[in-house]
């Protein structure tokens, strides 16, 4: 519990840590107000049952004389109204405290989800190779909400109702010590025992619920992402059934938690009311006067009315903290993760581009993916002079994309180094290096936004340089299509993942996006594979025209795209086995010749 509280404390910012104290004060005022509300019933009931108390009780007597009442009845009405006003005031204070609490909780929800998303975005690329994006999205959107609306609120409830219960119990002690002890043993013992016997199972259920929820999100996400294949193969029911398994698990764990956290209320309510009946009988049998019995029973009935919900809420809060510990652990771990997946701060403004005037060198570079023992790149050495056009060839799985990801600075080598003009790339200057790069990946992700915004990716609409956009679309050979065939031109919305444009158009938009910033180095990963021969030729010509001033690194299966490269590096199982110009390799290397023949 202490560890969990410490973790929660870590998740608050400075302002929130201060606010917590303000909130606790409000909560104390609330507990106090509730006790006053409960206590105020005593003099009223006393007065109703024993009107002669106006004479015997000092306080009542002073009030009676001070306001010069003329009859006991009008004084009783006055005390009744006063009692009512005290209860209204106590409820007003409670309402204010609850308002503060909810405000704090929802602001915290906002801050925490921002913080978690920021931490995720700041994780190294390798982190996203071992974590499912739907799980991360779920944590940011749903689990944080559960953490604040369940864990945090329940922790506050635990404090609030703990204090309320203590205050009510102290008051009851002053009224009747023995009955109070009996009530505490009965009710507190009952809740305590149920908590003790369910706590381990509750925690485990919370862990399993988190896991089931992860798969629920994952399955729904996968279903929508593979909707085409699902439709063609009529596999709707497979995904629905898969979802049902996890959804049912999630529902079962939640139901179990809800039942366990609420059921004791009904058992202990019966016990409490049975207790009151017993108390009345006991007092009557012991020969107490009805006038003596009624005030004390009223006090206990009213206190029970306040105490029972308080005890029930304490129990529910404790169960909820237990059930949701798994979420707190996960969020805390993701935010404060250290080691190779630690988040690193990103710069406030666009970094300066690293000087690149001469060459890129890879020296004795090796790389293996997280959780994999086998190296995917082994002792790679290569050199790319500025303005050179380099091709990477090799069979599928040879390591071409991995090598490009290392050059892009997305994956960090385990051994060896990469130098730009003799300067070694480190975590500190990698972003400066990336400013030089325009990258067209294998699978171009278009946002569900306008063509204009997709090309000037990440640039606010009012700062987009339309001239640069048009220049980029012209080189990518997509300007004619946008300007003449689309009714809304650059303002056309492309749909989620660019579903409203063809594969070839998507690739050319991806190319235009890479060219928009006029990069020094252009990296193309299978960038023209979806284009027909004629379009591919014209795009390559346009690229070759810019290649006169740009350094290019091209991965191609179709070796025709790297025909004009100055140098082609041949990869096999993560090693560079040969390099040379196209004709040279075609003459000297059997494997290259085979690849060239295969790709036509
Ligand atoms: N995230 C990953 N985790 C573990 N192994 C990976 C990961 N990505 C790729 N690999 C493995 O690394 C090796 C090289 O993959 P890579 O994608 O670099 O090859 P490639 O030459 O680009 O292949 P292709 O031409 O088919 O795209 C393959 O054996 C692949 O299975």
Partnered with residue 570 across adjacent β-strands are 393, 578
Average pLDDT rounded to a whole number, residues 472-499:
87
572 CA distance to ligand 1 centroid (A)?
Answer: 12
236 CA distance to ligand 1 centroid (A)?
Answer: 30
Q: Judge contact between 392 and 400, C-beta under 8 A.
A: yes
Give CA separation, 45 vs 42, 277, 299, in Å. 5, 19, 9
Pocket test for ligand 1, best of 369, 523, 529, 577 (most atoms within 8 A of CB): 369
Give CA separation, 8 vs 28, 140, 161, in Å. 21, 16, 20
pLDDT recorded at residue 112: 94
Q: Whose CA is nearest to atom 29 of ligand 1?
A: 397
Give CA separation, 396 vs 93, 400, 559, 591, in Å. 70, 8, 13, 13
12 pLDDT more than 60 = yes
328 pLDDT more than 60 = yes
pLDDT recorded at residue 212: 96
Higher pLDDT, 116 or 529: 116
pLDDT recorded at residue 75: 86
Decide whether any atom of ligand 1 lies within 6 Å of the 510 Cβ.
no
Give CA separation, 533 vs 537, 538, 558, 592, in Å. 6, 9, 11, 21
Residue-wise pLDDT for 272-298, tens only, equals 788 778 878 887 888 877 777 777 777
- Tell me how far apart the alpha carbons of residues 351 and 410 are, in angstroms, rounded to a whole number: 16
Using DSSP, state whether 442 is helix, strand or coil.
Answer: coil
Pocket test for ligand 1, best of 401, 405, 410, 569 (most atoms within 8 A of CB): 401
Give the HSE-up count for residue 276: Cα atoms under 13 Å, Cβ half-sphere. 18
Q: Judge contact between 190 and 271, C-beta under 8 A.
A: yes
224 CA distance to ligand 1 centroid (A)?
Answer: 25
Among 142, 126, 122, residue whose Cα is nearest residue 134: 142
374 CA distance to ligand 1 centroid (A)?
Answer: 12
80 CA distance to ligand 1 centroid (A)?
Answer: 80
pLDDT recorded at residue 528: 67
557 pLDDT more than 80 = no
Decide whether any atom of ligand 1 lies within 6 Å of the 124 Cβ.
no
Q: Whose CA is nearest to atom 4 of ligand 1?
A: 369
600 pLDDT more than 60 = no
403 CA distance to ligand 1 centroid (A)?
Answer: 10
Q: Judge contact between 361 and 383, C-beta under 8 A.
A: yes
pLDDT recorded at residue 187: 81
Helix and strand counts by DSSP (H, E) for the chain: 25, 10
413 CA distance to ligand 1 centroid (A)?
Answer: 15
pLDDT recorded at residue 530: 65
pLDDT recorded at residue 37: 75
pLDDT recorded at residue 363: 94
Pocket test for ligand 1, best of 402, 404, 573, 591 (most atoms within 8 A of CB): 402
Share of the chain above pLDDT 70, in %: 97
Per-residue confidence band for 547, with pLDDT thresholds at 50, 70 and 90: low
Residues in contact with 326: Cβ distance below 8 Å, sequence separation at least 6, in sequence order:
203, 206, 207, 209, 210
387 CA distance to ligand 1 centroid (A)?
Answer: 28
Among 104, 107, 114, 142, residue whose Cα is nearest residue 22: 104
Per-residue confidence band for 264, with pLDDT thresholds at 50, 70 and 90: confident
> 303-312, 359-368, 518-527: which range is least confident on average?
303-312
Q: What is the mean pLDDT of the chain?
A: 87
Decide whether any atom of ligand 1 lies within 6 Å of the 129 Cβ.
yes
455 CA distance to ligand 1 centroid (A)?
Answer: 28
Atom of ligand 1 nearest to the CA of 129: 1
Decide whether any atom of ligand 1 lies within 6 Å of the 376 Cβ.
yes
- Tell me how far apart the alpha carbons of residues 444 and 463 are, in angstroms, rounded to a whole number: 23
Q: Judge contact between 370 and 340, C-beta under 8 A.
A: yes
- Tell me how far apart the alpha carbons of residues 248 and 306 are, in angstroms, rounded to a whole number: 37
H or E element, residue 575: strand 575-580
270 CA distance to ligand 1 centroid (A)?
Answer: 65
ipTM beyond cut 0.90: yes
Strand ranges across the sheet with 359-367? 377-385, 359-367, 415-420, 423-424
- Tell me how far apart the alpha carbons of residues 597 and 582 are, in angstroms, rounded to a whole number: 13
Partnered with residue 525 across adjacent β-strands are 555
> 179-188, 326-335, 516-525: which range is least confident on average?
179-188
Pocket test for ligand 1, best of 129, 398, 413 (most atoms within 8 A of CB): 398
Q: Whose CA is nearest to atom 1 of ligand 1?
A: 129
Per-residue confidence band for 575, with pLDDT thresholds at 50, 70 and 90: very high
80 pLDDT more than 90 = no
Q: Whose CA is nearest to atom 24 of ligand 1?
A: 396
Among 253, 244, 145, residue whose Cα is nearest residue 208: 253
Decide whether any atom of ligand 1 lies within 6 Å of the 375 Cβ.
no
Q: Judge contact between 364 and 416, C-beta under 8 A.
A: yes
Helix axes 533-547, 466-475, angle to 10 degrees: 120
Decide whether any atom of ligand 1 lies within 6 Å of the 368 Cβ.
no
Atom of ligand 1 nearest to the CA of 442: 27
Q: Judge contact between 219 and 239, C-beta under 8 A.
A: yes
Decide whether any atom of ligand 1 lies within 6 Å of the 372 Cβ.
yes
pLDDT recorded at residue 527: 66
Interior CA angle at 585 toward 584 and 588, to 5°? 85
Decide whether any atom of ligand 1 lies within 6 Å of the 400 Cβ.
yes
Tokens representing 312?
A: 């029930």
Pocket test for ligand 1, best of 399, 441, 527, 574 (most atoms within 8 A of CB): 399
Among 514, 41, 547, residue whose Cα is nearest residue 306: 41
Decide whether any atom of ligand 1 lies within 6 Å of the 374 Cβ.
no
Average pLDDT rounded to a whole number, residues 437-455:
89
pLDDT recorded at residue 303: 67
């Amino acid at each position: 519990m202490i560890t969990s509280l410490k973790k929660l404390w870590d998740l608050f910012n400075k302002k929130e840590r201060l606010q917590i104290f303000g909130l606790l004060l409000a909560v104390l005022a609330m507990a106090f107000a509730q006790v006053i509300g409960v206590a105020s019933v005593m003099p009223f009931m006393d007065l109703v049952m024993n009107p002669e108390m106006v004479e015997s009780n000092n306080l009542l007597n002073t009030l009676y004389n001070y306001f010069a009442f003329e009859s006991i009845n009008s004084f009783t009405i006055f005390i009744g109204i006063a009692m009512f006003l005290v209860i209204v005031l106590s409820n007003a204070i409670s309402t204010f405290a609850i308002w503060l609490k909810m405000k704090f909780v929802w602001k915290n929800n906002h801050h925490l989800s921002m913080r978690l998303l920021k931490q995720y975005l700041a994780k190294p690329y390798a982190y996203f190779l071992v974590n499912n994006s739907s799980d991360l999205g779920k944590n940011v959107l749903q689990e944080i909400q559960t953490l604040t609306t369940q864990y945090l609120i329940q922790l506050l409830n635990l404090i609030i109702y703990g204090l309320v219960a203590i205050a009510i119990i102290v008051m009851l002690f002053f009224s009747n010590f023995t009955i109070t002890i009996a009530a505490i043993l009965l009710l507190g013992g009952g809740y305590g025992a149920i908590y003790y016997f369910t706590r381990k199972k509750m925690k485990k259920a919370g862990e399993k619920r988190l896991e089931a929820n992860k798969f629920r999100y994952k399955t729904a996400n996968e279903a929508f992402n593979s909707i085409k294949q699902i439709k063609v193969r009529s596999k709707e029911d497979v995904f629905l059934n898969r979802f049902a398994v996890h959804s049912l698990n999630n529902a079962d764990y939640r139901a179990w938690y809800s039942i366990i956290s609420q059921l004791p209320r009904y058992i202990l309510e019966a016990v409490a009311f049975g207790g009151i009946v017993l108390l009345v009988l006991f007092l009557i049998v012991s020969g107490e006067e009805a006038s003596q019995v009624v005030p004390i029973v009223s006090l206990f009935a009213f206190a029970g009315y306040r105490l029972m919900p308080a005890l029930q809420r304490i129990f529910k809060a404790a169960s909820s903290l237990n059930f949701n510990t798994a979420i707190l652990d996960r969020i805390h771990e993701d935010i404060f993760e250290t080691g190779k997946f630690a988040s690193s701060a990103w710069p406030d403004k666009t970094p300066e581009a690293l000087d690149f005037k001469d060459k890129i060198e890879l020296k004795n570079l090796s790389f293996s993916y997280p959780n994999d023992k086998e190296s995917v790149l082994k002792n790679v050495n290569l050199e790319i002079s500025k303005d050179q056009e380099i091709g990477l060839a090799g069979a599928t799985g040879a390591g071409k994309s991995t090598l490009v990801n290392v050059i892009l600075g997305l994956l960090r080598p385990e051994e060896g180094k990469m130098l730009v003009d003799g300067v070694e790339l480190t975590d500190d200057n990698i972003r400066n290096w990336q400013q030089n790069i325009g990258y067209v990946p294998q699978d171009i992700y278009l946002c569900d936004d306008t063509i204009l915004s997709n090309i000037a990716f990440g640039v606010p609409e009012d700062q987009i340089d339309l001239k640069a956009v048009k220049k980029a679309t012209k080189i990518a050979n997509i300007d004619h299509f946008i300007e003449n065939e689309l009714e809304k031109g650059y303002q056309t919305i492309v749909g989620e993942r660019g579903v409203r444009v063809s594969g070839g158009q998507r690739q050319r938009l991806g190319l235009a996006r890479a060219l928009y910033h006029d990069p020094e180095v252009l990296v193309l990963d299978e960038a023209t594979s979806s284009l027909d021969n004629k379009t591919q030729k014209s795009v390559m010509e346009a690229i070759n025209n810019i290649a006169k001033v740009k350094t290019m690194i091209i991965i191609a299966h179709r070796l025709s795209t790297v025909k004009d490269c100055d140098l082609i590096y041949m990869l096999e199982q993560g090693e560079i086995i040969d390099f040379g110009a196209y004709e040279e390799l075609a003459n000297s290397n059997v494997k290259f010749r085979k690849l060239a023949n295969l790709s036509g």
